A and B are shown apart, each in its own frame.
Chain A
């Protein structure tokens, strides 16, 4: 992995990202704005699953309203993240916080996918309040963990 990082950080594209001063801050800003979209959407959905907010709307309604924003925004985050990794490979790829972040992201994406699928049956959650609370809580904790791990990459 170290050898791969060394090779990558010497490619022309990586050197460009490293040396043109505004690229990394600008791409990080895009990444943060995407986080705002994803976090707010998922916070609203998760709080609904837990039952703390938005109870005037059904869970399937909230799923259909918010989950699409995540699916559309994630590719942008993957792209911006890829640019940051290409620019500074070792900073992410050799960092345990980054790996934890990716693990949590993969987990929460799977959970979100299943929550969306199960919500296709309109009355699914009516008799499964406990499952909804569990799914919402785990999802919310994972998203917060992802943001935290993401910030701590810089401090490793």
Chain B
């Protein structure tokens, strides 16, 4: 059933346009990369704060409000660009191992994000400059850093196995 849907998807006019054009894929891919580097960079800034490695003079909630909206907005744009790239050759990407790994890692990072958002961050009001940050928050931050690095690696790997 899924391959059926993917064949249909990659036959849609917009997908065919991307596939046939010489410049559309590289342009969308460049946009994908630009948004990804903002996502990974901004998440890393916040994770490094949780690990007490950077921006230690700022309250965690201040940093969250300053950075995380950009992370979400950039992630949404990166996801849209990624979907367009995927559509241009859906069946092939679906069977691509690094692509599948990347999707699995994204799912896991999403679960970690939800866990942080709903279970850990509500208590962040007291994490001002110099305050002790709970182990759960540090664990989630480390998990996030490691998995985002792995996501980038898998993403690059797709290009070498397609």
Residues of A within 8 A of B (CB): 24-26, 28-29, 32-33, 35-41, 43, 53-54, 65, 144, 147-148, 151-152, 154-155
Interface of B is mostly: helix
- Tell me which residues from 95 to 130 in chain B have a Cβ below 8 Å from any Cβ of chain A: none
B44 close to A (CB within 8 Å): yes
Q: Which of under 10, 10 to 19, 20 to 34, or 35 or more describes the interface residues of B?
A: 20 to 34
Task: Tell me the number of A-to-B contacts counted with CB atoms below 8 Å.
Answer: 62
Which residues of the partner chain B approach A25 to less than 8 Å between Cβ atoms?
153, 156-157, 160
Q: Are B44 and A29 in contact (CB under 8 A)?
A: no
B16 close to A (CB within 8 Å): no
Q: Are B26 and A151 in contact (CB under 8 A)?
A: yes
Docked Cα-Cα span, A40 to B42, in Å, equals 6
Q: Are B45 and A40 in contact (CB under 8 A)?
A: yes
Which residues of the partner chain B approach A155 to less than 8 Å between Cβ atoms?
26
Q: Are B37 and A151 in contact (CB under 8 A)?
A: no
Which residues of the partner chain B approach A54 to less than 8 Å between Cβ atoms?
66
Q: Are A36 and B156 in contact (CB under 8 A)?
A: no
